[in-house]
Amino acid sequence: MSEQHHDVYPVRDDIAANAWADKAEYAAMYQRSIDDPEGFWAEQAKRLDWIKAPTKIKNTSFDRDNVDIRWFEDGELNVAANCLDRHLEIRGGDTAIIWEGDDPAESCHITYAELYDRTNQLANALKEMGIGKGDTVTLYMPMIPEAAVAMLACARIGAVHSVIFGGFSPDAIAQRVIGAQSKLVITADESVRGGKHVPLKDNVDAALTREGTEVCEEVLVVKRTGGDIDWHEGRDVWYHEMVDKQAMACPAEAMNAEDPLFILYTSGSTGAPKGLKHTTGGYLTYAAMTHQYVFDYHEGDVYWCTADVGWVTGHSYIVYGPLANGATTLMFEGVPTYPTHGRMGEIVDKHKVNILYTAPTAIRAFMAHGDSVMDSSSRDSLRLLGTVGEPINPEAWEWFYRVMGKKRCPIVDTWWQTENGGIMIAPLPGATPLKPGSATKPFFGVQPAIMDSEGQQLEGEAEGNLVILDSWPGQARSIWGDHARFVSTYFSTYDGVYFTGDGCRRDADGDYWITGRVDDVLNISGHRMGTAEIESAMVAHAAVAEAAVVGYPHDIKGQGIYIYVTLGDDVEPTDELKKELTQQVRKEIGPIASPDIIQWAPSLPKTRSGKIMRRILRKIAANECDGLGDTSTLADPSVVDELIEHRVNR
């Protein structure tokens, strides 16, 4: 195995001195979390306000015949009360959310007291609209405070939210509204990103014409831009008209710890996107604790996570974790490179951000413009940096460290997944020496292990598939409406453990290096896309006989989408058709799934049993045409030469 040699950045003494955990504390706490999970998590649960304190702590089984995950199962609490009510007395006047608009001239501060009032008003409005405990509400919203308010208002009355990222198409919205059986969609007229308006309401209108969406009876519309929209009398309701008249008090519903808090859809290697079900007590305990320890969050810090609330990172680390901890969380409407490539640094200066959590793809986008892109800001307020979403290449890590953080700020490279609810593998700033490209060590209660393809657990230095041996409180409990799929996706590859879908190497120091997905899931700019989903969008076009989608290395996005398309008989392969097929994917899934490269493929390399050999397609897409390995099992090996000859990425 090739050991990669990079610098190790030791823990800074000044950071260790003030951190929640130094090296010895991390080691002792980690050991305890594994030896005595019940005792450890019983104590951690005390960070929340419980209506009824839990006495049963952990009751979990990864046995494939009985996958059943419960934490704090006899406890009762309310997530919104934990994020709002309990802070009022001590910090009601402190800023909960700093909102920074797409336009640098627009920003505002919302205190905990104001957020409480707004949440309660919306909660009362939801009740008036007939939404109650256990109902599902779909959110398709811009990055505006109302998105956080909507999540919290649902939590307050026990409704289950399902947030859809604003880059998804009407078809994708329809699929998710149907999957969650949502009676209500909350949206806005338009969102604003990078100076452009995105027609959210139009997309919802189109989605709700699809068969099966009749379940959705009402659409609550925030007026963000005042742009032109169609109005469906009897179905559409203006947010401000509904909410402004409501009382500012709304009792928080007592929820069982295992009642669902939210559904969040994510892509897998096969089939339609899965709605992961996250519950109440364990999720919030884990989101709050990881936010405190991994970001070494201290009272008064200004914290900024650049994710969108449409992803789990936005759920756990813009809204729930920070607000549970009484933090000031910055919410940014726009894109990090608008109006200038230095915007991220400018926002840091403007709001004196101390902790900045972002994605490798954003860092690479800055890097492409040279060090001077950050000249417009000092970033002197920064103390800590974090990344998430995909493996960070050491060059991007070094750039982030040197330029963004001016060699003063530790970087926490955080590995986790939608399914996990919170950070799983990451350094703790006061405890863990940093290695560019390594997510380093497991969080408390997390037991990673590496398996070979035969299901043998590998010890010591090793490379293989990453699994987690036992449950942690933030874990998703199921796939909404399809527990069998939950079991088969995560607990059937290996017996009795959670399979992550990621490859991983553990070095001699016990540090973990995530190597990327081992299944047919792509990671495009940190966004998860299933190859099967994109293929089915392609073949839905009449001209397409067959399509195969693979990822290829992309300088900024990490991975790009490369599609091999076999056309039907007598269809002309034209550039015009390529554009149409691109439109087709954007329509079925959304702009985030836009193909980067389409190659016409007279036929695809298949085994004699008809299985497409993706290994070969990946190599050709990566322009690595030497050493394609054994092609003798192909039904027609000459197919490969033709694809190589016409490869597009070279």
Annotated binding site for ATP: 389-391, 413-418, 502, 517, 528
- Evaluate whether 189 touches 225 at the Cβ level (below 8 Å): yes
Question: In the complex with ligand WT7, which residue's Cβ is closer, 213 or 420?
Answer: 420
Sequence-separated (6 or more) residues with CB below 8 Å from residue 66: none
CB of 523 to ligand WT7, least distance (A): 6
Near ligand WT7 by CB under 6 A, which window of 337-345, 447-455, 516-524, 626-634? 516-524
Compute φ and ψ for 412, nearest 5 degrees. -100, 115
Which of 176, 224, 528, 614 binds ligand WT7 (CB under 6 A)? It is 528
Residue ranges for the known binding site are: 193-196, 313, 389-391, 413-418, 502, 517, 525, 528, 539, 541, 544, 586
Residue type, position 284, single letter: L
Side-chain half-sphere exposure of 115, counting CA atoms within 13 A:
39
Is residue 167 part of the contact set for ligand WT7 (CB under 6 A)?
no
Burial zone of 297 (CB within 10 Å; 0-12 exposed, 13-18 middle, 19+ buried): buried
Hey, what are 223's tokens? 């007026």
Is residue 213 part of the contact set for ligand WT7 (CB under 6 A)?
no
Sign of CA dihedral 320, 325, 328, 330: negative
- Evaluate whether 607 touches 189 at the Cβ level (below 8 Å): no
Is residue 436 part of the contact set for ligand WT7 (CB under 6 A)?
no
Alpha-carbon distance of 289 to 324, in angstroms, equals 9
Is residue 551 part of the contact set for ligand WT7 (CB under 6 A)?
no
Alpha-carbon distance of 463 to 514, in angstroms, equals 10
Alpha-carbon distance of 553 to 258, in angstroms, equals 41
Near ligand WT7 by CB under 6 A, which window of 99-107, 193-201, 407-415, 633-641? 407-415
Cis amide leading into 339 (omega within 30) = yes
Near ligand WT7 by CB under 6 A, which window of 157-165, 178-186, 510-518, 636-644? 510-518
Is residue 358 part of the contact set for ligand WT7 (CB under 6 A)?
no
CB of 69 to ligand WT7, least distance (A): 18
DSSP assignment string, 128-141 = HTT--TT-EEEEE-
Helix ranges (H only) for 329-456 are: 343-351, 360-367, 394-399
Question: In the complex with ligand WT7, which residue's Cβ is closer, 515 or 566?
Answer: 515
Return the axis-axis angle of helices 170-180 and 575-588, rounded to nearest 10°. 30
Is residue 421 part of the contact set for ligand WT7 (CB under 6 A)?
no
Residue ranges for the known binding site for CoA are: 193-196, 313, 525, 586
CB of 583 to ligand WT7, least distance (A): 25
Q: Output DSSP code: residue 402.
A: I
Which of 501, 530, 560, 605 binds ligand WT7 (CB under 6 A)? It is 501
Which of 171, 259, 301, 413 binds ligand WT7 (CB under 6 A)? It is 413
Per-residue binder mask for ligand WT7 (CB under 6 A), 241-280, x = binder: -------------------------x--------------
- Evaluate whether 162 touches 263 at the Cβ level (below 8 Å): yes
CB of 541 to ligand WT7, least distance (A): 27
Question: In the complex with ligand WT7, which residue's Cβ is closer, 37 or 427?
Answer: 427
Near ligand WT7 by CB under 6 A, which window of 185-193, 244-252, 457-465, 515-523? 515-523
Question: In the complex with ligand WT7, which residue's Cβ is closer, 306 or 500?
Answer: 500
Sequence-separated (6 or more) residues with CB below 8 Å from residue 117: 248
Alpha-carbon distance of 228 to 231, in angstroms, equals 10
Which of 111, 120, 354, 414 binds ligand WT7 (CB under 6 A)? It is 414
Is residue 397 part of the contact set for ligand WT7 (CB under 6 A)?
no
Near ligand WT7 by CB under 6 A, which window of 89-97, 368-376, 410-418, 589-597? 410-418
Sequence-separated (6 or more) residues with CB below 8 Å from residue 313: 305, 307, 357, 388, 389
CB of 314 to ligand WT7, least distance (A): 9
Is residue 502 part of the contact set for ligand WT7 (CB under 6 A)?
yes
Return the axis-axis angle of helices 37-45 and 281-294, rounded to nearest 10°. 90
Alpha-carbon distance of 78 to 87, in angstroms, equals 14
CB of 315 to ligand WT7, least distance (A): 9
Is residue 415 part of the contact set for ligand WT7 (CB under 6 A)?
yes
Residue type, position 471, single letter: S
Hey, what are 634's tokens? 């192909």
CB of 463 to ligand WT7, least distance (A): 14
Is residue 391 part of the contact set for ligand WT7 (CB under 6 A)?
yes
Which of 393, 418, 525, 559 binds ligand WT7 (CB under 6 A)? It is 418
CB of 96 to ligand WT7, least distance (A): 23
Is residue 287 part of the contact set for ligand WT7 (CB under 6 A)?
no
Nearest to 556 by CA among 375, 408, 363, 370: 363
Strand partners, 606: 612
Is residue 417 part of the contact set for ligand WT7 (CB under 6 A)?
yes
Burial zone of 470 (CB within 10 Å; 0-12 exposed, 13-18 middle, 19+ buried): middle
Q: Compute how many residues bind ligand WT7; rule: CB under 6 A.
A: 23
Residue type, position 5, single letter: H
Question: In the complex with ligand WT7, which residue's Cβ is closer, 490 or 562?
Answer: 490
- Evaluate whether 548 touches 561 at the Cβ level (below 8 Å): no
Is residue 439 part of the contact set for ligand WT7 (CB under 6 A)?
yes
Give CA angle at 307 (519, 144), nearest 5°.
135
Compute φ and ψ for 563, nearest 5 degrees. -120, 125
State which residue has the least CB distance to ligand WT7: 418
CB of 263 to ligand WT7, least distance (A): 14
Which of 203, 290, 329, 523 binds ligand WT7 (CB under 6 A)? It is 523
Per-residue binder mask for ligand WT7 (CB under 6 A), 294-333, x = binder: -----------------xxx--------------------
Compute φ and ψ for 335, nearest 5 degrees. -115, 150
Which spans of this chain sit near ligand WT7 (rule: CB under 6 A)? 266, 311-313, 388-391, 413-418, 439, 500-502, 514, 516-517, 523, 528
